[in-house]
Structures are given as structure tokens and as C-alpha cells.
Amino acid sequence: MTRPVTGGDHSLVGSSSKIGAVRRLIEKASANRLRVLLLGESGSGKEVVARAIYEANPRGQFVPIDCGTLVGTLMESELFGHVKGSFSGAVENKKGLVELADGGTAFFDEIGDLQLDMQVKLLRLIQELEFRPVGGLQWRKADLRIIAATHRDLDAEVAAGRFRQDLLYRLRVLVIHLPPLREHKEDVPELVDHFLAMSRAAGLPAFPPPWEIRNALLSYDWPGNVRELKHAIDRMSALHSDGALQLSDIPSALQNHMAASTLNRLSKAVESTPAESFTLPPKSPVISLPQSEALAIRNALEATAGERAKAAHLLKIGRTTLYRKMKEYNLA
């Protein structure tokens, strides 16, 4: 199936050496019509790169094709089209996505999710740039630039018998690896400013994130990569009201991260400071220290079904510290 080509900004943001290397490969790929395979975790920017390759040298249309949804004969017709009368319901000739992309770019997204029977059909298209509509007798030529993307490890998929090795060889001409965001955190500030500018352009009021949030954005690991960062900024920009960010405006994964690191810092301070000289750091205007600690403890207890030893381990604090804090916050 295809998705509508959404409008909006597809620019690849980042000045790190890793993103620099990706940019050089984009240039190389767009200068000729080499097949490109984009690999990287979910949310790391594969589609952004696919569109950037197309846009650097736009020719014809950019046609995204979701391989995960290409199953069964109807989908074969979706991809290659069909001739009138080839099956009940085929009341007239219909063009498929491949023909739509003729002269342009076909972006096979989530290629690792393609069913084996469709992989065979794609092989010929990729190898010979030929296709045959369902019910048609003749092979037709297509002038296509082929870009494929997946978050899966295709070698592992081949080893598990779920992906054809010959297809992988054909796809693996120019491979671009998108690094996970945790490996190019130096790009976080630039990305944050980019997403803030986008939400301002969408009419939302300006929202300069307080330093606690900026710090958290930098130290968090972003398992959902740039997409998760974008959603966090979009959410905070949309929800913050009257300039005061509420605890509930912060995505919960980020809240947990902030709470856990505050608690971690605090427990280190408690361990290395004589009790009588210990003073709490100044209260955060966004999420107070006790609030964030109580939240982290509650989450850890929830995650461990109330097992305190495990919860303490998760929080990277001693058990005694945990008991004391539970008492303090009435969580015991």
C-alpha cells in the first residue's frame, strides 16, 4: 500500500560527523541512480534520507510503498496493476504503484516485513526492472530508482529463512546506516531547535525549554530515536500553558528518566555527605525533587510488582535508602 506523500519539512538536521557521513552518501546516491538500502533503528530518519535522496535530484514521483501491507493477490495488483477481467472485480485495467513510480523513485519501506511470495516477485523487478500486471501476458520495463529501508537485521532474517538472500544481494548496492540518536547526541540541541521552530511555524506559542528539560533531553537515551525526541518537543510545545510547564506535559519516559537521574544524584550525595551537612539542591520550578523521587520510586515498585530489592536495584540506590524514601513519601 502507499501513503499519501505528506507535506512538511523533511530536511535532515544535524552537524555531527555521523550525520555528515550520511549526507555524503546521500549526495553520492542522488548523483547517480544506484539502488540504496537504508538501515537503522525505528525513528532514526530512514524516510527522511529516502526523501532527501529523491529531492536532491527530483525526477518523476517519489512513491512510498509499505511492504508490510503487501500480502495476497490484491496487493500484487496494488503493486504491479492488473488487466481488465484478470479476476472478479477487475473491471478495468489498473495501474500499480510501480507504474506510478515509473521515471521516478519507488521507496520500499519496511522491506524486511515483505512476505516471501512477494519477495520473489520483487526480485525480478529489482534485477531486471521488469514487471507484469496481474493477468497480463507481457513483461513491461520500468525506469525506477529503487530505495529500500528496514529497521530489521536482514542477515538475521536471511539466516532465519524469512528473507531471500538473492534479494538482499540485489538491494545491498549502496548501504546507508542511520545511527541511533544515542550515538550522535551532539545533534540533540540542533534537533530540538529545529522542532521548536517547526511548532512555532505551526502557530504554537514560543516555548524555550527550561534548563532541567534541556539537560534531560541531552542525557536521555532516546530508544525511539529522533521520532521520540520530535514527539516530546511537539507534546511539550502543545501542552505548556501560560509559560508554565506542568509535570504532566512531559512525556512519561522522560519524566522517569529525570526522576531516576535526580534520585541517583541525590543518593550519591547522601552517601558521600555527612547527614548534618547535607542540604537539598534548589527546588526545580518544573518538577520538584521530592515529586520526581516519589515518582521514580512508584514507577520502580510498579515495574517490579512491589519487590523492593529489585526496585532498589533498578533505581541504582541501596535498599536502606529506598526504605527510608518510601517512608518519607508514604509509599510504604
Ligand X SMILES: Nc1ncnc2c1ncn2[C@@H]1O[C@H](COP(=O)(O)OP(=O)(O)OP(=O)(O)O)[C@@H](O)[C@H]1O
Interface residues with ligand X (CB under 6 A) are 12-14, 40, 42-48, 151, 178, 226-227, 230
- Among ligand X, Mg ion, none, partner that 40 touches (CB below 5 to 8 angstroms by kind): ligand X
CB of 46 to Mg ion, least distance (A): 5
C-beta of 48 vs 260, nearer to Mg ion = 48
Provide the minimum distance between the beta carbon of 69 and Mg ion in the complex, in angstroms, as a whole number. Answer: 13
Task: Tell me if 228 contacts Mg ion by CB under 5 A.
Answer: no
Helices 289-303 and 252-272, axial angle in degrees (round to 10): 110
Separation between Cα atoms, residue 271 and residue 273, nearest integer Å: 6
**DSSP string computed for 59-92:** -S-EEEEEGGG--HHHHHHHHH-B-TTSSTT--S
Nearest to ligand X of 20, 72 (CB atom) = 20
Q: Which does 67 bind (CB under 5 to 8 A by kind): Mg ion, ligand X, none?
A: none
Specify whether the CB–CB gap between 216 and 254 falls below 8 A: yes
Minimum CB–partner distance for residue 65 and Mg ion (Å): 12
Closest residue (Cβ) to ligand X?
45
The residue assigned the cell 492488473 is: 82
Provide the sign of the torsion angle of the four alpha carbons 18, 22, 23, 24, taken in this order: positive
Kindly determine how many residues on this chain lie close enough to bind Mg ion according to the rule CB under 5 A: 1
> Shortest Cβ distance from residue 131 to ligand X (Å)?
25
> What is the DSSP code (8-state) at residue 112?
G
Q: How many CB atoms lie within 10 A of CB 249?
A: 19
* Cβ 183 to ligand X shortest distance, Å: 13
Distances in Å between the Cα of 116 and the Cα atoms of 135, 144, 175 are 21, 22, 22
Report DSSP state, residue 6: -
Chain residues 42-61 in contact with Mg ion, contact rule CB under 5 A: 47
In the complex, minimum distance from the CB of residue 171 to ligand X, in angstroms, rounded to a whole number: 16
Helix (H) or strand (E) holding 169: helix 165-171
- Using the minimum distance from each CB to ligand X, give the nearer residue, 18 or 132: 18
| Residue number, 44 or 267, with CB nearest to ligand X | 44
Q: Which of Mg ion, ligand X, none is residue 230 near (CB under 5 to 8 Å by kind)?
A: ligand X
Q: Whose CA is closest to 198, among 179, 224, 226?
A: 226
Per partner kind, with CB cut-offs from 5 to 8 A, the member of ligand X, Mg ion, none near residue 12 is ligand X
Binding site for Mg ion (CB under 5 A): 47
